Amino acid sequence: MMSWLLVMPIAIPFATAVVVYLLRMSPSGRWVSLFGSVLSLVASVALLVAVLEHGVIAAQMSNWDAPFGITLVADYLGVVMVVITAITGLATAIYALGEIPERVEKLGYHALFQTLIAGVTGAFLTGDVFNLYVWFEVMLISSFGLLVLGGSREQLDAGIKYVALNLVSTLVFLSGIGMLYGVTGTLNMADLREAVANAENQGLITVIAMLFMVGFGVKAAVFPLFFWLPASYHTPSFAVSAVFAGLLTKVGVYALMRMFTLVFVGDVGFTHEILIWVSALTMLTGVLGAAAQTDFRKILSFHIISQIGYMTLGLALYTPLAIMGGVFYLVHHIIVKANLFLVSGVANKLAGHTDLNRIGGLYKSSPFLAALFVIPAFSLAGFPPLSGFWAKYLIVKASIELDNWIIAFVALFVGLLTIFSMTKIWGMAFWKPHPDGYDPTPDRAPDHVRVPMMIPIVGLAAMTIVIGFFPEPFVQFAEVAATQLLDPTQYVETVLGARPEALFEVQPDIQPDAAPGVRP
Protein backbone atom coordinates (compact mmCIF):
# COMPACT_ATOMS: atom_id res chain seq x y z
CA MET A 1 0.00 0.00 0.00
CA MET A 2 2.77 2.43 1.00
CA SER A 3 4.65 1.31 -2.04
CA TRP A 4 1.78 2.41 -4.27
CA LEU A 5 1.32 5.75 -2.60
CA LEU A 6 4.97 6.53 -3.15
CA VAL A 7 5.19 5.34 -6.72
CA MET A 8 2.02 6.90 -8.10
CA PRO A 9 3.23 10.52 -8.22
CA ILE A 10 6.12 9.29 -10.42
CA ALA A 11 4.30 6.64 -12.42
CA ILE A 12 1.30 8.78 -13.40
CA PRO A 13 3.32 11.43 -15.27
CA PHE A 14 5.34 8.70 -17.02
CA ALA A 15 2.19 6.86 -18.09
CA THR A 16 0.66 10.16 -19.21
CA ALA A 17 3.79 10.93 -21.21
CA VAL A 18 3.44 7.63 -23.10
CA VAL A 19 -0.23 8.23 -23.91
CA VAL A 20 0.15 11.87 -24.93
CA TYR A 21 3.11 11.09 -27.15
CA LEU A 22 1.01 8.57 -29.04
CA LEU A 23 -1.79 11.18 -29.23
CA ARG A 24 0.49 14.06 -30.19
CA MET A 25 -1.07 14.50 -33.63
CA SER A 26 -4.58 14.77 -32.24
CA PRO A 27 -6.02 17.73 -30.35
CA SER A 28 -7.12 15.43 -27.52
CA GLY A 29 -3.51 15.03 -26.38
CA ARG A 30 -3.48 18.28 -24.43
CA TRP A 31 -6.59 17.25 -22.50
CA VAL A 32 -5.06 13.89 -21.63
CA SER A 33 -2.00 15.76 -20.39
CA LEU A 34 -4.20 18.00 -18.27
CA PHE A 35 -6.05 14.96 -16.92
CA GLY A 36 -2.71 13.35 -16.06
CA SER A 37 -1.66 16.47 -14.16
CA VAL A 38 -4.91 16.38 -12.17
CA LEU A 39 -4.32 12.71 -11.35
CA SER A 40 -0.76 13.50 -10.25
CA LEU A 41 -2.06 16.14 -7.91
CA VAL A 42 -4.59 13.71 -6.42
CA ALA A 43 -1.86 11.10 -5.93
CA SER A 44 0.46 13.66 -4.32
CA VAL A 45 -2.22 14.81 -1.92
CA ALA A 46 -2.94 11.18 -0.99
CA LEU A 47 0.78 10.81 -0.23
CA LEU A 48 0.69 14.00 1.83
CA VAL A 49 -2.18 12.64 3.90
CA ALA A 50 -0.26 9.42 4.54
CA VAL A 51 2.87 11.32 5.55
CA LEU A 52 0.89 13.55 7.91
CA GLU A 53 -0.37 10.38 9.54
CA HIS A 54 2.89 8.41 9.77
CA GLY A 55 5.63 11.03 9.77
CA VAL A 56 7.93 9.29 7.33
CA ILE A 57 7.00 6.55 4.89
CA ALA A 58 9.29 4.45 2.76
CA ALA A 59 8.97 1.68 0.20
CA GLN A 60 11.51 -0.70 -1.29
CA MET A 61 11.20 -1.05 -5.03
CA SER A 62 11.29 -4.59 -6.45
CA ASN A 63 11.17 -5.96 -2.91
CA TRP A 64 14.95 -5.63 -2.45
CA ASP A 65 15.57 -4.59 1.13
CA ALA A 66 17.38 -1.34 1.86
CA PRO A 67 20.25 -0.60 1.51
CA PHE A 68 20.53 -2.89 -1.53
CA GLY A 69 17.55 -1.86 -3.60
CA ILE A 70 16.15 1.47 -4.60
CA THR A 71 14.23 3.07 -1.78
CA LEU A 72 11.53 5.69 -2.16
CA VAL A 73 11.05 7.84 0.93
CA ALA A 74 8.70 10.66 1.74
CA ASP A 75 9.23 12.79 4.81
CA TYR A 76 7.68 16.21 5.42
CA LEU A 77 10.11 18.06 3.18
CA GLY A 78 9.94 15.47 0.40
CA VAL A 79 6.18 15.27 0.31
CA VAL A 80 5.58 19.01 0.34
CA MET A 81 7.91 19.33 -2.64
CA VAL A 82 5.98 16.58 -4.45
CA VAL A 83 2.68 18.33 -3.81
CA ILE A 84 4.01 21.70 -4.91
CA THR A 85 5.46 20.07 -8.05
CA ALA A 86 2.06 18.64 -8.88
CA ILE A 87 0.43 22.04 -8.30
CA THR A 88 2.94 23.80 -10.55
CA GLY A 89 2.55 21.02 -13.10
CA LEU A 90 -1.22 21.42 -13.14
CA ALA A 91 -0.97 25.22 -13.34
CA THR A 92 1.34 25.10 -16.34
CA ALA A 93 -0.66 22.33 -17.99
CA ILE A 94 -3.70 24.64 -17.92
CA TYR A 95 -1.57 27.55 -19.09
CA ALA A 96 -0.22 25.48 -21.97
CA LEU A 97 -3.77 25.02 -23.31
CA GLY A 98 -3.70 28.69 -24.21
CA GLU A 99 -0.06 29.26 -25.00
CA ILE A 100 1.47 26.26 -26.75
CA PRO A 101 0.93 26.30 -30.52
CA GLU A 102 -0.20 23.16 -32.32
CA ARG A 103 3.12 22.89 -34.19
CA VAL A 104 5.01 22.49 -30.91
CA GLU A 105 2.40 20.06 -29.56
CA LYS A 106 2.96 17.83 -32.58
CA LEU A 107 6.67 17.70 -31.78
CA GLY A 108 5.78 16.06 -28.46
CA TYR A 109 5.64 19.01 -26.05
CA HIS A 110 3.24 17.35 -23.62
CA ALA A 111 5.22 14.10 -23.43
CA LEU A 112 8.43 16.00 -22.60
CA PHE A 113 6.59 18.11 -20.07
CA GLN A 114 5.17 15.08 -18.26
CA THR A 115 8.56 13.36 -18.27
CA LEU A 116 10.07 16.48 -16.72
CA ILE A 117 7.44 16.44 -13.96
CA ALA A 118 8.12 12.73 -13.38
CA GLY A 119 11.85 13.44 -13.13
CA VAL A 120 11.40 16.26 -10.64
CA THR A 121 9.02 14.18 -8.52
CA GLY A 122 11.39 11.24 -8.61
CA ALA A 123 14.25 13.40 -7.37
CA PHE A 124 12.14 14.52 -4.42
CA LEU A 125 11.11 10.99 -3.47
CA THR A 126 14.21 8.91 -3.96
CA GLY A 127 16.22 7.71 -1.00
CA ASP A 128 19.20 6.59 -3.02
CA VAL A 129 22.01 8.84 -4.22
CA PHE A 130 22.61 7.10 -7.50
CA ASN A 131 18.90 7.08 -8.21
CA LEU A 132 18.95 10.82 -7.57
CA TYR A 133 21.56 11.10 -10.32
CA VAL A 134 19.28 9.17 -12.66
CA TRP A 135 16.40 11.56 -11.95
CA PHE A 136 18.71 14.48 -12.63
CA GLU A 137 19.43 12.97 -16.03
CA VAL A 138 15.73 12.43 -16.75
CA MET A 139 15.15 16.09 -15.89
CA LEU A 140 18.09 17.23 -17.97
CA ILE A 141 17.04 15.32 -21.09
CA SER A 142 13.43 16.41 -20.99
CA SER A 143 14.24 20.03 -20.08
CA PHE A 144 16.71 20.23 -22.97
CA GLY A 145 13.97 18.96 -25.26
CA LEU A 146 11.56 21.58 -23.97
CA LEU A 147 14.15 24.34 -24.33
CA VAL A 148 14.90 23.73 -28.00
CA LEU A 149 11.41 22.66 -29.07
CA GLY A 150 10.66 26.02 -30.65
CA GLY A 151 13.72 25.57 -32.85
CA SER A 152 14.80 29.21 -33.04
CA ARG A 153 18.49 30.16 -33.11
CA GLU A 154 18.21 31.87 -29.73
CA GLN A 155 16.67 28.78 -28.14
CA LEU A 156 19.34 26.44 -29.53
CA ASP A 157 22.03 28.77 -28.25
CA ALA A 158 20.45 28.78 -24.79
CA GLY A 159 19.95 25.02 -24.92
CA ILE A 160 23.60 24.31 -25.66
CA LYS A 161 24.78 26.50 -22.76
CA TYR A 162 22.22 24.94 -20.47
CA VAL A 163 23.12 21.37 -21.34
CA ALA A 164 26.88 21.89 -21.38
CA LEU A 165 27.00 23.45 -17.92
CA ASN A 166 24.51 21.00 -16.46
CA LEU A 167 26.47 18.08 -17.85
CA VAL A 168 29.55 19.38 -16.06
CA SER A 169 27.51 19.51 -12.89
CA THR A 170 26.22 15.97 -13.23
CA LEU A 171 29.75 14.81 -14.00
CA VAL A 172 31.04 16.37 -10.78
CA PHE A 173 28.10 14.87 -8.92
CA LEU A 174 28.77 11.46 -10.46
CA SER A 175 32.46 11.59 -9.45
CA GLY A 176 31.31 12.43 -5.94
CA ILE A 177 28.98 9.43 -5.98
CA GLY A 178 31.79 7.17 -7.18
CA MET A 179 34.14 8.32 -4.44
CA LEU A 180 31.43 8.10 -1.81
CA TYR A 181 30.72 4.52 -2.82
CA GLY A 182 34.41 3.75 -2.75
CA VAL A 183 34.71 5.06 0.80
CA THR A 184 31.50 3.76 2.34
CA GLY A 185 30.28 0.94 0.11
CA THR A 186 26.69 2.12 0.12
CA LEU A 187 24.59 4.70 -1.67
CA ASN A 188 21.37 4.49 0.29
CA MET A 189 20.98 7.91 1.90
CA ALA A 190 19.77 6.60 5.25
CA ASP A 191 22.53 4.00 5.33
CA LEU A 192 25.08 6.62 4.30
CA ARG A 193 24.43 8.68 7.40
CA GLU A 194 25.99 6.08 9.64
CA ALA A 195 28.57 4.93 7.10
CA VAL A 196 29.85 8.46 6.52
CA ALA A 197 29.98 9.20 10.24
CA ASN A 198 32.01 6.02 10.79
CA ALA A 199 34.33 6.48 7.83
CA GLU A 200 38.00 6.56 8.81
CA ASN A 201 39.17 9.22 6.40
CA GLN A 202 37.01 12.20 7.36
CA GLY A 203 39.16 14.53 5.26
CA LEU A 204 38.18 12.60 2.14
CA ILE A 205 34.53 12.77 3.21
CA THR A 206 34.80 16.56 3.31
CA VAL A 207 36.29 16.53 -0.19
CA ILE A 208 33.37 14.41 -1.39
CA ALA A 209 30.97 16.78 0.37
CA MET A 210 32.47 19.65 -1.60
CA LEU A 211 32.04 17.71 -4.86
CA PHE A 212 28.39 17.26 -4.00
CA MET A 213 28.12 20.93 -3.10
CA VAL A 214 29.53 21.99 -6.47
CA GLY A 215 27.37 19.51 -8.37
CA PHE A 216 24.17 20.56 -6.64
CA GLY A 217 25.34 24.18 -6.61
CA VAL A 218 25.33 24.32 -10.41
CA LYS A 219 21.82 22.81 -10.43
CA ALA A 220 20.65 25.28 -7.81
CA ALA A 221 22.43 28.20 -9.54
CA VAL A 222 24.36 29.50 -6.51
CA PHE A 223 26.97 32.22 -6.65
CA PRO A 224 29.89 31.40 -8.88
CA LEU A 225 28.03 28.67 -10.77
CA PHE A 226 24.81 30.31 -11.94
CA PHE A 227 25.79 31.52 -15.43
CA TRP A 228 23.69 29.01 -17.32
CA LEU A 229 20.44 30.22 -15.77
CA PRO A 230 20.11 33.78 -17.06
CA ALA A 231 21.51 32.55 -20.38
CA SER A 232 18.67 30.13 -20.96
CA TYR A 233 15.52 30.83 -18.95
CA HIS A 234 14.25 33.71 -21.07
CA THR A 235 14.13 31.77 -24.34
CA PRO A 236 11.56 28.92 -24.17
CA SER A 237 7.79 29.27 -24.15
CA PHE A 238 6.38 30.93 -21.04
CA ALA A 239 4.76 27.78 -19.66
CA VAL A 240 8.11 25.99 -19.90
CA SER A 241 10.06 28.83 -18.32
CA ALA A 242 7.55 28.93 -15.46
CA VAL A 243 8.16 25.24 -14.72
CA PHE A 244 11.91 25.72 -15.02
CA ALA A 245 11.88 28.81 -12.79
CA GLY A 246 9.62 27.22 -10.24
CA LEU A 247 11.00 23.72 -10.02
CA LEU A 248 14.36 22.96 -11.61
CA THR A 249 16.71 25.05 -9.47
CA LYS A 250 14.71 24.01 -6.42
CA VAL A 251 15.65 20.38 -7.04
CA GLY A 252 19.27 21.46 -6.53
CA VAL A 253 18.35 23.27 -3.33
CA TYR A 254 16.38 20.27 -2.14
CA ALA A 255 19.31 17.95 -2.87
CA LEU A 256 21.64 20.27 -0.94
CA MET A 257 19.21 20.32 1.98
CA ARG A 258 18.86 16.55 1.95
CA MET A 259 22.53 15.65 1.68
CA PHE A 260 23.82 18.35 4.02
CA THR A 261 21.41 17.53 6.81
CA LEU A 262 21.30 13.77 6.43
CA VAL A 263 24.74 12.70 5.25
CA PHE A 264 27.41 15.40 5.29
CA VAL A 265 27.12 16.70 8.83
CA GLY A 266 30.55 15.68 10.09
CA ASP A 267 32.26 19.01 9.47
CA VAL A 268 29.48 21.57 9.70
CA GLY A 269 31.90 24.31 10.71
CA PHE A 270 33.62 23.99 7.35
CA THR A 271 30.98 23.00 4.80
CA HIS A 272 28.10 25.08 6.13
CA GLU A 273 30.34 28.11 6.72
CA ILE A 274 31.22 28.06 3.02
CA LEU A 275 27.52 27.78 2.24
CA ILE A 276 26.73 30.87 4.34
CA TRP A 277 29.05 33.10 2.31
CA VAL A 278 28.09 31.47 -0.96
CA SER A 279 24.46 32.22 -0.09
CA ALA A 280 25.18 35.83 0.77
CA LEU A 281 27.05 36.35 -2.51
CA THR A 282 24.30 34.52 -4.41
CA MET A 283 21.69 36.89 -3.01
CA LEU A 284 23.76 39.96 -3.83
CA THR A 285 24.95 39.05 -7.32
CA GLY A 286 21.48 37.87 -8.32
CA VAL A 287 19.75 41.03 -7.30
CA LEU A 288 22.46 43.29 -8.74
CA GLY A 289 22.36 41.35 -11.99
CA ALA A 290 18.63 41.93 -12.16
CA ALA A 291 19.07 45.67 -11.72
CA ALA A 292 21.01 45.82 -14.98
CA GLN A 293 18.37 44.03 -17.08
CA THR A 294 15.42 45.42 -18.98
CA ASP A 295 13.85 42.19 -20.18
CA PHE A 296 10.86 40.98 -18.16
CA ARG A 297 12.01 37.38 -17.97
CA LYS A 298 15.71 38.19 -17.56
CA ILE A 299 14.95 40.30 -14.50
CA LEU A 300 12.90 37.44 -13.08
CA SER A 301 15.66 34.94 -13.93
CA PHE A 302 18.25 36.92 -11.98
CA HIS A 303 15.81 37.13 -9.10
CA ILE A 304 15.61 33.34 -9.02
CA ILE A 305 19.33 33.37 -8.27
CA SER A 306 19.03 35.92 -5.50
CA GLN A 307 16.13 34.01 -3.93
CA ILE A 308 18.07 30.74 -4.09
CA GLY A 309 20.52 32.46 -1.75
CA TYR A 310 17.86 32.78 0.94
CA MET A 311 17.02 29.08 0.75
CA THR A 312 20.62 27.87 0.92
CA LEU A 313 21.17 30.40 3.71
CA GLY A 314 18.43 28.68 5.67
CA LEU A 315 20.33 25.43 5.30
CA ALA A 316 23.73 27.00 5.93
CA LEU A 317 22.81 28.66 9.24
CA TYR A 318 21.83 25.16 10.37
CA THR A 319 19.55 26.02 13.27
CA PRO A 320 15.99 24.68 13.56
CA LEU A 321 14.56 28.14 12.89
CA ALA A 322 16.78 28.72 9.86
CA ILE A 323 16.00 25.37 8.24
CA MET A 324 12.34 25.90 8.93
CA GLY A 325 12.67 29.26 7.16
CA GLY A 326 14.48 27.59 4.27
CA VAL A 327 11.72 25.02 3.81
CA PHE A 328 9.03 27.68 4.01
CA TYR A 329 10.96 29.81 1.53
CA LEU A 330 11.25 26.91 -0.89
CA VAL A 331 7.49 26.36 -0.99
CA HIS A 332 6.59 30.05 -1.14
CA HIS A 333 9.16 30.75 -3.84
CA ILE A 334 8.00 28.01 -6.24
CA ILE A 335 4.46 29.36 -6.24
CA VAL A 336 5.43 33.01 -6.54
CA LYS A 337 8.16 32.63 -9.13
CA ALA A 338 6.19 30.33 -11.40
CA ASN A 339 3.33 32.82 -11.19
CA LEU A 340 5.50 35.79 -12.17
CA PHE A 341 6.72 33.96 -15.27
CA LEU A 342 3.11 33.13 -16.16
CA VAL A 343 2.20 36.82 -15.78
CA SER A 344 5.08 37.79 -18.05
CA GLY A 345 3.62 35.45 -20.68
CA VAL A 346 0.26 37.20 -20.60
CA ALA A 347 1.98 40.61 -20.67
CA ASN A 348 3.85 39.43 -23.75
CA LYS A 349 0.64 38.31 -25.44
CA LEU A 350 -1.13 41.61 -24.75
CA ALA A 351 1.65 44.16 -25.16
CA GLY A 352 3.64 42.31 -27.79
CA HIS A 353 7.09 41.96 -26.24
CA THR A 354 9.04 41.07 -23.10
CA ASP A 355 11.52 43.95 -23.42
CA LEU A 356 10.31 46.50 -20.89
CA ASN A 357 11.34 49.40 -23.12
CA ARG A 358 8.99 48.23 -25.84
CA ILE A 359 5.87 47.64 -23.76
CA GLY A 360 3.72 49.62 -21.37
CA GLY A 361 0.21 50.70 -20.53
CA LEU A 362 -0.86 47.39 -19.01
CA TYR A 363 -2.18 48.99 -15.81
CA LYS A 364 -4.59 51.27 -17.64
CA SER A 365 -5.96 48.72 -20.09
CA SER A 366 -5.67 45.47 -18.07
CA PRO A 367 -6.01 46.42 -14.40
CA PHE A 368 -6.90 42.84 -13.44
CA LEU A 369 -3.59 41.55 -14.76
CA ALA A 370 -1.81 44.40 -12.99
CA ALA A 371 -3.39 43.37 -9.68
CA LEU A 372 -2.35 39.78 -10.32
CA PHE A 373 1.22 40.92 -10.96
CA VAL A 374 1.38 42.96 -7.79
CA ILE A 375 0.53 40.01 -5.53
CA PRO A 376 3.45 37.71 -6.47
CA ALA A 377 5.82 40.65 -7.06
CA PHE A 378 5.28 42.11 -3.60
CA SER A 379 5.36 38.67 -2.09
CA LEU A 380 8.73 38.08 -3.75
CA ALA A 381 10.05 41.32 -2.32
CA GLY A 382 8.79 40.33 1.14
CA PHE A 383 5.93 42.75 1.75
CA PRO A 384 3.74 41.92 4.73
CA PRO A 385 1.34 40.21 4.88
CA LEU A 386 2.15 38.18 1.76
CA SER A 387 3.90 34.80 1.94
CA GLY A 388 7.36 36.20 1.15
CA PHE A 389 7.29 38.34 4.26
CA TRP A 390 7.05 35.33 6.56
CA ALA A 391 9.73 33.49 4.62
CA LYS A 392 12.18 36.39 4.83
CA TYR A 393 11.22 37.08 8.45
CA LEU A 394 12.16 33.55 9.51
CA ILE A 395 15.52 33.65 7.72
CA VAL A 396 16.47 37.10 9.01
CA LYS A 397 15.38 36.23 12.52
CA ALA A 398 17.47 33.06 12.42
CA SER A 399 20.58 34.98 11.35
CA ILE A 400 20.04 37.63 14.04
CA GLU A 401 19.67 34.91 16.66
CA LEU A 402 23.11 33.67 15.66
CA ASP A 403 24.41 37.25 15.96
CA ASN A 404 25.32 37.10 12.30
CA TRP A 405 24.50 40.74 11.61
CA ILE A 406 26.25 40.97 8.26
CA ILE A 407 24.10 38.17 6.86
CA ALA A 408 20.95 39.67 8.34
CA PHE A 409 21.85 43.00 6.74
CA VAL A 410 22.53 41.40 3.36
CA ALA A 411 19.20 39.57 3.49
CA LEU A 412 17.29 42.77 4.24
CA PHE A 413 19.27 44.83 1.73
CA VAL A 414 18.59 42.29 -1.03
CA GLY A 415 14.89 42.49 -0.14
CA LEU A 416 15.07 46.23 -0.69
CA LEU A 417 16.74 45.83 -4.07
CA THR A 418 14.10 43.26 -5.01
CA ILE A 419 11.47 45.93 -4.46
CA PHE A 420 13.49 48.17 -6.76
CA SER A 421 13.39 45.58 -9.56
CA MET A 422 9.71 44.87 -9.07
CA THR A 423 8.84 48.56 -9.17
CA LYS A 424 10.95 48.84 -12.31
CA ILE A 425 8.83 46.18 -13.99
CA TRP A 426 5.72 47.84 -12.60
CA GLY A 427 6.73 51.27 -13.83
CA MET A 428 7.85 50.21 -17.28
CA ALA A 429 5.42 47.44 -18.18
CA PHE A 430 2.32 48.58 -16.36
CA TRP A 431 2.48 52.29 -15.55
CA LYS A 432 4.01 54.12 -18.49
CA PRO A 433 1.99 54.33 -21.74
CA HIS A 434 2.77 51.85 -24.47
CA PRO A 435 5.61 53.26 -26.65
CA ASP A 436 3.78 52.26 -29.83
CA GLY A 437 0.77 54.23 -28.65
CA TYR A 438 -1.84 51.49 -28.49
CA ASP A 439 -3.76 50.07 -25.54
CA PRO A 440 -2.78 46.48 -24.63
CA THR A 441 -6.34 45.59 -23.67
CA PRO A 442 -7.21 42.00 -22.66
CA ASP A 443 -9.12 41.38 -25.90
CA ARG A 444 -5.86 41.51 -27.84
CA ALA A 445 -5.64 37.84 -26.94
CA PRO A 446 -8.71 35.79 -27.94
CA ASP A 447 -10.72 34.19 -25.14
CA HIS A 448 -9.60 30.62 -25.82
CA VAL A 449 -6.01 31.78 -25.36
CA ARG A 450 -6.44 34.26 -22.54
CA VAL A 451 -8.79 32.35 -20.24
CA PRO A 452 -6.59 29.24 -19.76
CA MET A 453 -3.61 31.53 -19.24
CA MET A 454 -5.36 33.55 -16.55
CA ILE A 455 -6.83 30.64 -14.53
CA PRO A 456 -3.48 29.38 -13.14
CA ILE A 457 -2.32 32.95 -12.42
CA VAL A 458 -5.43 33.59 -10.34
CA GLY A 459 -5.05 30.23 -8.60
CA LEU A 460 -1.41 30.71 -7.68
CA ALA A 461 -2.02 34.30 -6.55
CA ALA A 462 -4.82 33.02 -4.31
CA MET A 463 -2.39 30.51 -2.81
CA THR A 464 0.13 33.27 -2.12
CA ILE A 465 -2.54 35.24 -0.30
CA VAL A 466 -3.71 32.22 1.68
CA ILE A 467 -0.16 31.42 2.81
CA GLY A 468 0.33 35.08 3.67
CA PHE A 469 -2.79 35.53 5.77
CA PHE A 470 -2.88 32.09 7.36
CA PRO A 471 0.80 31.19 7.73
CA GLU A 472 0.22 29.20 10.92
CA PRO A 473 -0.35 25.69 9.48
CA PHE A 474 2.38 26.17 6.88
CA VAL A 475 4.89 27.36 9.47
CA GLN A 476 4.01 24.42 11.70
CA PHE A 477 4.48 22.08 8.78
CA ALA A 478 7.86 23.64 8.01
CA GLU A 479 8.77 23.31 11.68
CA VAL A 480 8.14 19.56 11.65
CA ALA A 481 10.04 19.30 8.37
CA ALA A 482 13.01 21.11 9.94
CA THR A 483 12.88 18.90 13.02
CA GLN A 484 12.93 15.82 10.80
CA LEU A 485 15.87 17.17 8.84
CA LEU A 486 17.93 18.00 11.91
CA ASP A 487 17.14 14.71 13.62
CA PRO A 488 16.69 12.12 10.88
CA THR A 489 16.39 9.16 13.26
CA GLN A 490 12.86 8.42 12.10
CA TYR A 491 13.92 8.74 8.46
CA VAL A 492 16.79 6.31 8.93
CA GLU A 493 14.73 3.84 10.93
CA THR A 494 11.83 3.89 8.48
CA VAL A 495 14.11 3.26 5.52
CA LEU A 496 16.36 0.62 7.02
CA GLY A 497 13.67 -1.06 9.09
CA ALA A 498 14.93 -4.18 10.83
CA ARG A 499 18.16 -4.20 8.89
CA PRO A 500 20.72 -5.38 11.51
CA GLU A 501 19.14 -8.83 11.75
CA ALA A 502 18.40 -9.07 8.09
CA LEU A 503 22.02 -8.45 7.19
CA PHE A 504 23.46 -11.26 9.22
CA GLU A 505 20.88 -13.92 8.51
CA VAL A 506 21.06 -15.97 5.38
CA GLN A 507 18.08 -14.84 3.43
CA PRO A 508 16.43 -17.72 1.63
CA ASP A 509 15.11 -15.55 -1.17
CA ILE A 510 18.46 -14.16 -2.27
CA GLN A 511 19.30 -17.16 -4.40
CA PRO A 512 19.81 -16.63 -8.06
CA ASP A 513 16.87 -18.80 -9.07
CA ALA A 514 14.28 -16.95 -7.09
CA ALA A 515 15.88 -13.56 -7.35
CA PRO A 516 13.13 -11.02 -7.17
CA GLY A 517 13.50 -7.76 -8.85
CA VAL A 518 13.90 -6.47 -12.28
CA ARG A 519 17.03 -5.15 -13.70
CA PRO A 520 17.67 -3.77 -17.09
Partner 1 sequence: MNSIIFTAGARILVALLFVFSLFMLLRGHHLPGGGFIGGLLGAISFIVYALACGSGEARAALRVSPEGLAIVGLGVALAAGMVSVFFGDPLFTGQWYWVGGDSYETALFSINSVLVFDIGVYLVVLGGILSLAFAFDEET
Q: What residues line the site for partner 1 (CB under 8 A)?
A: 3-4, 7, 11, 14-15, 17-19, 21-22, 59-63, 108, 111, 512-520
Cβ–Cβ contacts within 10 Å for residue 15, how many? Answer: 15
Helix, strand, or coil here: 324? helix
Q: How far is residue 447 from each of residues 346, 371, 452, 508, measured CA to CA in Å? A: 12, 19, 8, 64
For residue 21, the minimal CB distance to partner 1 (Å) is: 4
Rounded to 10 deg, the angle between the 320-351 and 387-401 helix axes is 150
Q: Which is nearer to partner 1, 182 or 516 (CB)?
A: 516
Sign, Cα dihedral of 122, 62, 133, 209:
positive
E runs forming strands in 126-269: none
Q: Which is nearer to partner 1, 11 or 167 (CB)?
A: 11
Do 323 and 485 form a contact (C-beta atoms < 8 A)?
A: yes
For residue 322, the minimal CB distance to partner 1 (Å) is: 37
Q: What is the SS3 assignment for 389-420?
A: HHHHHHHHHHHHHCCCHHHHHHHHHHHHHHHH
For residue 81, the minimal CB distance to partner 1 (Å) is: 21
E runs forming strands in 198-241: none
Q: Which is nearer to partner 1, 11 or 288 (CB)?
A: 11
For residue 10, the minimal CB distance to partner 1 (Å) is: 10
Q: Which is nearer to partner 1, 152 or 489 (CB)?
A: 152
For residue 16, the minimal CB distance to partner 1 (Å) is: 11
How far is the C-alpha of 314 from the C-alpha of 317, rounded, in Å?
6
Q: Which is nearer to partner 1, 174 or 179 (CB)?
A: 174
Q: Which is nearer to partner 1, 107 or 419 (CB)?
A: 107
Of 401, 418, 399, 421, nearest to 409 by C-alpha is: 399
Which segments of 55-125 does DSSP mark as H helices, in order? Answer: 76-99, 102-106, 109-125
221: alpha, beta or left, given left = phi > 0 and alpha = psi -120 to 50? left
* Residue 516 dihedral angles phi and psi, to the nearest 5°: -80, 175
Contacts 24+ apart (CB under 8 A), 283-290: 283/307, 283/309, 283/310, 283/313, 283/410, 283/411, 283/414, 284/309, 284/410, 284/414, 285/223, 285/226, 286/226, 286/414, 287/414, 287/417, 287/418, 287/421, 288/417, 289/230, 290/417, 290/418, 290/421
Q: Which is nearer to partner 1, 126 or 484 (CB)?
A: 126
For residue 103, the minimal CB distance to partner 1 (Å) is: 16
For residue 133, the minimal CB distance to partner 1 (Å) is: 16
For residue 19, the minimal CB distance to partner 1 (Å) is: 8
Q: Which is nearer to partner 1, 119 or 326 (CB)?
A: 119
How far is the C-alpha of 209 from the C-alpha of 369, rounded, in Å?
45
Q: Which is nearer to partner 1, 6 or 460 (CB)?
A: 6
Q: Which is nearer to partner 1, 59 or 315 (CB)?
A: 59
For residue 33, the minimal CB distance to partner 1 (Å) is: 14
What distance separates the 2 farthest-apart alpha carbons in the chain?
Answer: 81
For residue 72, the minimal CB distance to partner 1 (Å) is: 9
Report the Cα–Cα distance between both ends of the chain, in Å, rounded. Answer: 25
